[in-house]
Amino acid sequence: MQHTGMHRSHSGRWGLALVLSVVFPLLGSAQHSEQDIPSNDSLRGASHLYDIMKRGELDGRLRLYNMMTINDGAPADYHAVAFGGTLGFTSQRWHGTRFKLSGGYTFDLATSDLTALDPVTGAANRYEIGLYDVNDPRHTNDLAYLHEFQLDWSSHNVRTRVVLGKQELNTPFLNPQDGRMHPSLFEGIWTQHRTSHGTALQGGWLYRVAPRGASEWYTVDESMSVFPAGRNVYGEGAQHGEHLESAGIFAASVKQKIHRTLNVTAWDLYTENVFNSALLQLDAGNKEARWNASAMAIRQDAAHYRGHGNDSLLYMPASEASWAFSARLRNVLGKFRWQLNYTRITAHGRYLMPREWGRDPFFTFLPRERNEGAGDVHAASLNLIWKANNGWRIQVDGGLYRMPDLTDVRLNKYAMPSYTQFDVNAQYQFNGGWKGLAAQLLVLAKLPLERELTERQSINKVDMLHADLIINYVF
């Protein structure tokens, strides 16, 4: 562990050196290229650095999070009440470039003892610990972390944007999954560009990750085992976290309208020395049109591994590959809409994507559970959504998830039983003098489709009720 800590420290120094190597040349070129600054630019003059910082903006978020999990039978129940938020500063742009810095904090107000294992099954807490630090259940107070630290450049026509540093991304594979006290964050260089013909391009290189539910930044290979890693294909506890070495995540996407109502999106995410995931998605019809539909296909393959060839120590064995397909049909009826979804992960292998990086991209995804780590899955769900103009949004979901057998270690990484899930998600956005304030209530139940599960097999997975009450204030 001491070696890991030193590695992170050196990575931080290199990251800071990289940022400074970009900042100082920009400032130096400003001094030698003043004739390029428009005459009405407020930054002309000796105090331009002072001006862009002085005229910057502060923003922040406060969050009160109440969480509760009730397990049926003898296993323990849990609760947590956490308070925290983020505070950030964004400078004005100078020649298209701006600086952004934000940090976050979390305090425990009233939480169960998360260090104690369940006395019946010996299982650790699954959900509530994610409000604090999954790596240290004792650390629930005075958690502080660096949120964003970046340089952001935008072209004059706003068609190109480049962000260097710590940032938030929202893509099918890498996303905030903002269901805890802070979202998942990424560090690297990310570029977005829209051509004059409307083609949207984005992608970049990422070398560090700050998973939600943790209070540190990790290299990409370290981040893949921050959360429990389940079983390998031989039924042993996965140990890839100690053996992975990766230069990072390389991702790219293109989105193009190929017809008046048809869009195609392609993604490729290559984690060097680990695996590759490719996604193709078609969207037919505007999302607010009476009828619209979407479909996606995902193919995963192991990357050429440089190192030992012991499959039991790899994140994805060289012989493994997977296919996943997901589709959605949506009908919009004014303020009400319904969505029918289906996902199939074939039996070729497990669909794998580190849970630290984001939630599943499948249309059948419902809060507090995933199908990542499984193969030979059939999933179907129905969403009923009502959205009013007065700030209310209420969604009722029902889903059925047919998983591989619990004993099938090749296709069931986390020993997840087949289940049904039902939830109600009510959200309210305040207006007027309370603008910026929002409340959310999520209540869900997960029930097993299989009989005679042991308490060890069901705890925190099925036969459970889960509820969240979240109050946010954004300014």
Which two structure tokens, joined as six digits, stand for 271?
């984690």
Q: How many CB atoms lie within 10 A of CB 333?
A: 9
Which two structure tokens, joined as six digits, stand for 116?
């104690």
Which helix (H) or strand (E) segment holds residue 155: the answer is none
Q: Token match 């440089």: residue? A: 306
Report the percent of the chain where pLDDT is more than 90: 81
Per-residue pLDDT averaged across 369-376, rounded?
A: 98
- CA atoms within a 13 Å half-sphere pointing along the CA-CB vector of 79: 5
| pLDDT at site 141 | 85
| pLDDT at site 47 | 53
Residue type, 389: N
Question: pLDDT class for 50, splitting at 50, 70, 90?
Answer: confident
Level-2 CATH architecture, domain 57-474? Beta Barrel (2.40)
Q: pLDDT digit string (tens) for 421-462?
A: 999 999 999 999 999 999 999 999 999 998 889 999 999 999
Q: pLDDT digit string (tens) for 262-321?
A: 999 999 999 999 999 999 999 999 888 999 999 999 999 999 888 766 888 899 998 889
Is pLDDT at 11 greater than 80 in this prediction?
no
Is pLDDT at 405 greater than 50 in this prediction?
yes
Q: pLDDT digit string (tens) for 317-344?
A: 988 899 999 999 999 999 999 999 999 9
> Can you tell me the distance from the alpha carbon of 48 to that of 65, in angstroms, rounded to the nearest whole number?
42
Question: pLDDT class for 152, splitting at 50, 70, 90?
Answer: very high
- H-state helical runs in 177-281: 220-223
| pLDDT at site 195 | 97
Per-residue pLDDT averaged across 145-172, rounded?
A: 97
Sign of CA dihedral 16, 55, 103, 357: negative
Residues facing residue 446 across a β-bridge? 421, 464
Is pLDDT at 110 greater than 50 in this prediction?
yes
Which two structure tokens, joined as six digits, stand for 347?
């039996």
| pLDDT at site 32 | 36
| pLDDT at site 39 | 36
DSSP-derived secondary structure letter, 280: E
Mean pLDDT across the chain, nearest whole number? 90
Q: pLDDT digit string (tens) for 221-238?
A: 999 999 999 999 999 999
> Can you tell me the distance from the alpha carbon of 233 to that of 115, in angstroms, rounded to the nearest whole number?
29
Q: 255 Cβ partners below 8 Å, 6+ apart?
A: 199, 200, 201, 263, 264, 265, 266
DSSP-derived secondary structure letter, 237: B
Domain chopping of the chain, boundaries: 1-35, 57-474
- Long-range interactions of 341-345: CB distance < 8 A, separation 24+: 341/379, 341/380, 341/381, 341/382, 341/383, 342/379, 342/380, 343/371, 343/377, 343/378, 343/379, 343/380, 344/377, 344/378, 344/379, 345/371, 345/374, 345/375, 345/376, 345/377
| pLDDT at site 263 | 97
